Amino acid sequence: MELDRDLVLALDRLAPTTWTGTVLRHHAPRYRALDGHGARINGGRWNPPDSFAVVYTALEPGTIDAEFQRLTRRTGLPAGTLLPRRIARIDASLAKVLDLTDIGTRRRLGVTLAQLTDDDWARTQGIGQAAHFLGYEGILAPGADGGTTLAVFPGSLPAGSRLTVIGEKPYGDQPAV
């Protein structure tokens, strides 16, 4: 996917925000909770396949569940075939975040809420690619269920920013943390 220079310029004019809090992440057990390797290979909402690592997280347990359901729809696989999975609680402290929960930011980028939550990821992958190029550490965005997601670019974390796993357990037949 080619970098959208107009989008880079639009993002470069925005003021990034800081973000600190606890997030949740479900992941396949073969990957560590903070590496983003699976997303780098397969791509995701904010990164094209074979691009850069992204640690996809959510702020609410219901959003983790909704994003897992979205994964099953996108792959066309029954949920059971994607299990087992792990769910991690992660403390995050980021200094340079693109906040797409802010309607003013979305307007300045010319992107709608529907585009951010749609299953067509062309627009969101372009935004993610531009944000990664500009050194953003992550993107705070609306989730599949109306909750909130935080996509973190672990390779972009400078000194002072951090992701720390504070707990992990099996995910699947039980409710999220």
Token pair recorded at residue 74: 């996108």
Whether residue 174 is contained in a domain is answered as no
Taking only the tens place, the pLDDT of each residue in 9-43 is 999 999 999 999 999 998 888 889 998 998 999 99
**This prediction's pTM:** 0.92
Taking only the tens place, the pLDDT of each residue in 38-66 is 899 999 999 999 999 999 999 999 898 88
Token pair recorded at residue 141: 């965005």
Whether residue 107 is contained in a domain is answered as yes
Whether residue 175 is contained in a domain is answered as no
For residue 139, pLDDT over 70 is answered with yes
Whether residue 172 is contained in a domain is answered as no
Whether residue 176 is contained in a domain is answered as no
Whether residue 173 is contained in a domain is answered as no
Whether residue 177 is contained in a domain is answered as no
Residue 45 burial class via C-beta count within 10 angstroms: exposed 0-12, middle 13-18, buried 19 and up: buried
The total number of structural domains in the chain stands at: 1
The CA distance from 116 to 29, in Å, is 28
Whether residue 15 is contained in a domain is answered as yes
Domain with 44 in it: 5-167
Contact call for residues 50 and 155 (beta carbons, < 8 A):
no
